[in-house]
Amino acid sequence: MQTIHDHFIQTAEVMQGKTLFERPGQPDISFAQMRGMVEALAGALTAIGVAPGDRVAVQVEKSPEAIALYLATLQVGGIFLPLNTAYTGAEIDYFIGDAAPRLFVCDPSLAASHAHRAGDALAVLTLGADGQGTLADQARTATPREDAHPRGPEDRAAILYTSGTTGRSKGAVLTHGNLTSNTEALLEHWRFDANDRLIHALPIFHTHGLFVAANMALVAGATMIFLTKFDAEQAIDLIARATVLMGVPTFYTRLLKSPRLDREATSGMRLFVSGSAPLLAEDHRAFTDRTGQRILERYGMTETCMITSNPYDGDRIAGAVGMALPGIQVRITDRETGDPVAPGEIGLIEVKGPNVFEGYWNMPEKTAAEFRPDGFFITGDLGTIEADGYLRIVGRDKDLVISGGYNVYPKEVEEAIDALPGVLESAVIGLPHPDLGEAVTAIVVPKSGTLDADQIRAALSDLARFKQPRQVIVVDALPRNVMGKVQKAELRKTHAGLYAQALA
Ligand code: MLC
Ligand code: AMP
């Protein structure tokens, strides 16, 4: 088996001076240069003492060097642990305590606030958006490393934290076999090769930007037009020089807002991919009307990488996420009994295959609870497979909000709100939002008297910005059923129109 690092080295050997990273206003970086960066960083990691199995936690801005650090970690047999740049110090405390990394790499601007973490067991180094910092300094002086620590499909490659229903984040442990098998399946399924030029505007600390988009380009020998963030007008400028865009639905909602999006602007593109959250069927259709292109929607999850995809050649159906990728099995089961449901009925989406993660870091009970005895993983999404064979996602069994492609577990936000003075209880829900798909919204009950909604929002600054409620609504009581359970469905109905007029 080859790891993503092995694949990259082979590709770099062939591609040599071909451009891997193209960045507006900055010099291009070739495959050969990237290989040099990876080997220099692998030398630095070895010198620092990162041993096989050690975790390398990374909270840095998007840069080619950050991708090189990912590959270098795989090369030395380490476990890559990328963290959302929005996470605050309190959130980082938890990840570092839980994963016990050997090395934590942060932005130079945060070096002072993380300095206290450094000790015998944990080195703290920096890497900035410009590729500079104390880690880069070490890479310049260390002896570059060419050999890779041998790794098999079962060996651990990465940990991605995903919020938990109990409020505690869970570290999903992904193996080399998970990453390699999924990249290979996607390359074939989407006909992605060295001729492609991918607009890469996603963050690189999640599955979509790192294990789908970047892995595919690194392995195929494609060029990435590498953007620090998504800007619809910039994307339209660049589309003429690209062949593929991968994005969350908000990318498409924002592209559709631009009058410049038309057939001519997109005529050189061969593939638009959407995933990480539901793409509105009306956006899918509007995109086709405007551009003649049919967005290819696929479905995935941190724990499973990509699961299903609409076909490349066949019908890309609005509101459907397609069929299981090669080598992957998907079934729909009854929520109560776990038995497969009849075709066309709604149930839990379960998945099995080489893409499915090993388990949650240090959480054997949580892991066991999400797998069936026959090895199927319970996604927590609700769906149906109809006679046409396409999977359609109809909802979620898990209490989860997806805002602009970021997952927010209400429990974590509710716990933070409930801890504030004067709050009796709260319910956090996702409401339809014209830009973000869903917006995190808090419904709060005061202990007595009234509460200031703005003060509540301001008091939640320990939470990453994308988890903070866009709006806080103060009410006298929450609706409950006879069992005393808060009726979130009713709250979502009552407040459904809250963001209807929101400006994107
Ligand atoms: C940014 N903000 C968000 C937000 N993104 N708030 C809620 N939800 C989000 N997703 C905050 C900013 O901090 C800022 O706060 C304010 O909103 C305005 O920001 P913006 O400039 O409008 O946002 P922008 O930077 O343009 O980002 C929006 C976005 C981005 C949608 C482009 O969030 C994004 O790239 N999302 C992709 C997420 C992703 O990669 N998901 C894949 C997960 S993997 P303030 O305070 O300054 O106003 C996965 C598996 C799979 O799910 O299947 O792929
Ligand atoms: P994450 O845990 O961040 O990886 O998010 C995974 C979740 O995103 C899945 O469990 C789904 O709920 C959701 N998701 C991903 N892709 C799609 C899609 N195409 N349509 C609807 N939901 C999706």
Check residue 504 and give its pLDDT: 47
Q: 464 alpha carbon to ligand 1 midpoint, in Å?
A: 11
Which atom of ligand 2 approaches the CA of 396 most closely? 12
pLDDT in tens, 309-332: 999 999 999 999 999 999 999 999
Check residue 336 and give its pLDDT: 86
Q: In the chain, what are the domain boundaries? A: 4-17+31-181, 230-357+364-396, 400-503
Residues contacting residue 168 through CB under 8 Å, at least 6 positions apart: 94
Residue nearest atom 13 in ligand 1 by C-alpha distance: 465
CATH superfamily of 4-17+31-181: ANL, N-terminal domain (3.40.50.12780)
Check residue 503 and give its pLDDT: 57
Q: 44 alpha carbon to ligand 2 midpoint, in Å?
A: 36
Residues pairing with 473 in the sheet:
443
Residue nearest atom 23 in ligand 2 by C-alpha distance: 277
Which residue matches tokens 């869903």?
A: 438
pLDDT in tens, 233-242: 999 999 999 9
For 204, which DSSP code?
Answer: S
pLDDT in tens, 364-396: 999 999 999 999 999 999 999 999 999 999 999
Q: Is 406 in the pocket of ligand 2 (CB under 6 A)?
A: no
What ligand has the least distance to the C-alpha of 182?
1
pLDDT in tens, 337-349: 899 999 999 999 9
Q: Is 276 in the pocket of ligand 2 (CB under 6 A)?
A: yes
pLDDT in tens, 92-110: 999 999 999 999 999 999 9
Q: 398 alpha carbon to ligand 2 midpoint, in Å?
A: 11
Q: What percent of the chain shows pLDDT beyond 90?
A: 94
Q: In angstroms, rounded to a whole number, what is the distance separating the alpha carbons of residues 144 and 166?
A: 44
**Would 230-357+364-396 and 400-503 be classified into the same CATH topology?**
no
Q: In the predicted model, what is the mean pLDDT of residues 355-370?
A: 96
Which atom of ligand 2 approaches the CA of 406 most closely? 3
Q: 281 alpha carbon to ligand 2 midpoint, in Å?
A: 16
Check residue 403 and give its pLDDT: 97
Q: 175 alpha carbon to ligand 2 midpoint, in Å?
A: 20
Check residue 407 and give its pLDDT: 93
Q: Are 175 and 355 in contact (CB under 8 A)?
A: no
Asked if the model's pLDDT at residue 217 lies above 90, the reply is yes
> What is the pLDDT of the chain when averaged over all its residues?
96
Check residue 165 and give its pLDDT: 63
Check residue 167 and give its pLDDT: 63
Q: 406 alpha carbon to ligand 1 midpoint, in Å?
A: 7
Class of the domain covering 400-503: alpha beta
Q: Between vectors from CA 333 to CA 347 and to CA 335, what angle results, nearest 5°?
A: 65
CATH superfamily of 230-357+364-396: ANL, N-terminal domain (3.40.50.12780)
Q: Which residues line ligand 1 (CB under 6 A)?
A: 202-203, 206-209, 229-230, 248, 250, 275-276, 300-302, 403-406, 436, 465-466
